[in-house]
Structure 1
Amino acid sequence: MLKTLSYIILFFLGSASFIPKMDVSKFKESTINLSSESYLKIKGKTNVSTFECQFDMTAISEAINITYKDEDSIVKFNDTKLILPNLEFNCGGKAINKDFNKLLNTEEFPEITLKLKKLSKSKTKANSITATIEINISNIVNTYTIPISVINNNDLHVSGVMPLDINDFSLTAPTKMLGMVKVSPKIEIQFSLKILEP
């Protein structure tokens, strides 16, 4: 539930004295829902312009299962993932959508999977949290550690930016106009997730 996830986040923000003590001996389970105000997008650029591919968050209609274990300044997650069908990304037009799906080898590998591995609290910087995220694109898996922002008002709001190099996933960007328009291998996944209680 949202309360459970809030306990985790509040613990990381240094408010542990207000949190019921969790049993750290085993993994706990919960579920979360994402608000329609959430967004996830892939941003990139060419040598002449920029592009943005927005994921249709309504495609995630079911609650997301989370399994976690609290270990001191780290919360570890087990098989907690977000599955993103490639065809649910809209880059602004049929031609660029086609190029985007060609880049991702959508016919053979139709999904991107983001798996949350752990949250870590900085030992030197107050209120600093990093997330370790495993990403699977075209059946190639890489792991990244990124800073995240957490706002806990009426709802829990988690956001961050994950820089990627498409070469790390053996992807080849298409070229246009006899090779004069080239896509940079450097892209980023931007996310802003508003979490609701199921």
Structure 2
Amino acid sequence: MRHLLHLLILSLISLTAFGQKADYIPTEYILEVVPDSSMHIDGKTNINTFDCIFKNSIKSNLTLTQNIFNELTEVQHSGLEFCVTCFDCGIALMNKEFTELLYAEQYPIIVMKLLSMYIYQGEDKTIKGKGKVSMIIAGVERIEDITYSVPHSEGKNFQIIGTKQINILDYGITPPKKMMGMVKVDQHIDVNFNFKFIVDDH
């Protein structure tokens, strides 16, 4: 009986250790951005709004462990580079003003890099997530908190959808004024993202 009890305890310890080890086995992903639905920036002035959509496809490398389903966990991400002039605001004049707003001539690239992730089930039974990202806009880097939903998964593949409101003053951007100050750009813009995570089998 004592021998059987010892075997049971050893089995439980082994299972626990294996489970913990499995949580930390790295998985390689391709983080994919698809045109029209995966990245757009919304803003407003005192008289209208603008919605600028990223029109290119880009991919980056991401390494994470299954521990992101247990707690906020660091991830290794090569980062996404969004060319400012590749955003389409619908009309040429708005495109020009958008690139001027973000100082594209001097700082042509926006960089977004995931630093940590935590995916969990919310009280309403939906799958949600939170984490931290590094954002570089107009040459200024800041660490931002993000929240998102996880509406779809297939095996180990999944996607995250969310919106992060940022204050452009934090990035050293002065909201411009047009028409002798009558048109003013709001200092807050919304960065909307929809990213796909696909297991890299190669």
Structure 2 counterpart of 1:66, from 62, 66, 78: 62
Q: Which sits farther off after the overlay, 79-88 or 183-192?
A: 79-88
SS at match of 2:145: strand
Alignment of 1:23-102 (within 5 A): 24=24, 28-35=27-34, 38-58=37-57, 60=58, 63-69=59-65, 70=67, 72-102=70-100
Q: Which residue of 2 aligns with 1:130?
A: 130
- Cα RMSD between the aligned structures? 2.8
Shift of 1:74: 2.3
Whichever residue aligns with residue 88 of structure 1, its letter is C
Whichever residue aligns with residue 81 of structure 2, its letter is I
SS at match of 1:87: helix
Instruction: Structure 2: state its 5+ residue gaps.
Output: 1-18
Higher relative contact order (CA 8 A, sep 6+): 1
Q: Is the 8 A contact 2:30 2:198 kept in 1?
A: no
Q: Which residue of 2 aligns with 1:7?
A: none
**Structure 2 vs 1, CA of residues 158 and 121 (structure 1 numbering), >3 Å: closer, same or farther?**
closer
Whichever residue aligns with residue 105 of structure 2, its letter is E
Q: Which residue of 2 aligns with 1:10?
A: none
Instruction: Structure 1: state its 5+ residue gaps.
Output: 1-18
Cα distance in structure 2, aligned partners of 1:23 and 1:162: 29
Q: Which residue of 1 aligns with 2:110?
A: 112
Q: Is the 8 A contact 2:31 2:60 kept in 1?
A: yes
- The C-alpha deviation readout for 1:99-133, integer Å capped at 9, x for no partner, is 11111111111100001010135699574421211
Cα distance in structure 2, aligned partners of 1:124 and 1:89: 33
TM-score normalized with structure 2 length? 0.74
| TM superposition outliers: structure 1 runs of 4+ over 6 Å | none
Q: Is the 8 A contact 1:39 1:57 kept in 2?
A: no
Kindly, what percent of the aligned residue pairs are identical? Answer: 28
Aligned residue-pair number: 176
Shift of 1:157: 2.8
TM-score normalized with structure 1 length? 0.76
Whichever residue aligns with residue 64 of structure 2, its letter is Y
Q: Is the 8 A contact 1:99 1:174 kept in 2?
A: no
Q: Which residue of 2 aligns with 1:178?
A: 180
Shift of 1:92: 1.5
Cα distance in structure 1, aligned partners of 2:198 and 2:160: 12
Shift of 1:156: 2.4
